[in-house]
Amino acid sequence: MNRPVIDHLNAELASAFVLALNAKRYHWTVTGPHFRDYHLRFENLYAAADGTVDELAERIRMIGGVPLHAPAQIEAQSKAAISNPASRLDAKAMLSEALANEEAVITLMHEGIDLAGGAGDPGTADLLTRFVQVHQKEAWFLREMLG
């Protein structure tokens, strides 16, 4: 069991949960003249983030760890910022917030790839390499929508 890799994967897992929850919030609350485009983009963003959750948790189990599973753990360990539910965001602010979180997760994944490689854990490095591409694509879409 490699505690630093497990801890890192739990931060990845927490961040994935936050990305997914934020995307659902945006999806449900976006308004404006381009509602349909934003609504669909945020649903795709949710699907991309949520699609990583199970594999991250299972990888943690495979290497001897326990995946985080409580809201307090998610809040404490996420590197993505939790969207403030009390604030009313316009579509541009949602896109900007989502992009900042995607960029934070991309940086975290690069760190995880290096950590796993140094720990002799090619399985984790491979998983994160695959997932970083998912987040790079989402960041690209968000940047393009922001112009």
In this prediction, residue 105 carries a pLDDT of 98
The reported pTM is: 0.95
Range of the domain at 139: 3-146
Task: State whether the Cα torsion 35-37-42-43 is positive or negative.
Answer: positive
Closest CA to 39 of 47, 48, 30: 30
Number of domains in the chain: 1
So what's the pLDDT on residue 56? 98
Who contacts 97 (Cβ-Cβ below 8 Å, separation ≥6)?
22, 81, 83, 89
The DSSP secondary structure of 99-134, one letter per residue, reads HHHHHHHHHHHHHHHHHHHHTT-HHHHHHHHHHHHH
Task: Give residue-wise pLDDT tens across range 54-111.
Answer: 999 999 999 999 999 999 999 999 999 998 877 889 999 999 999 999 999 999 999 9
Give residue 86's pLDDT. 77
- Residue 50's pLDDT is 96
| Residue 37, domain CATH | 1.20.1260.10
Is 134 exposed, middle or buried, given 0-12, 13-18 or 19+ CB atoms closer than 10 A? middle
Mean pLDDT, the chain, whole residue set: 96
- List all residues 6 or more positions away from 73 whose beta carbon is below 8 Å from its beta carbon: 10, 14
Identify the pLDDT of residue 1.
Answer: 76
- Looking up tokens 């002799």 gives 120
Predicted confidence (pLDDT) at residue 47 exceeds the cutoff of 90: yes
Q: Which two tokens stand for residue 1?
A: 């069991």
Return the structure tokens found at 120.
């002799």
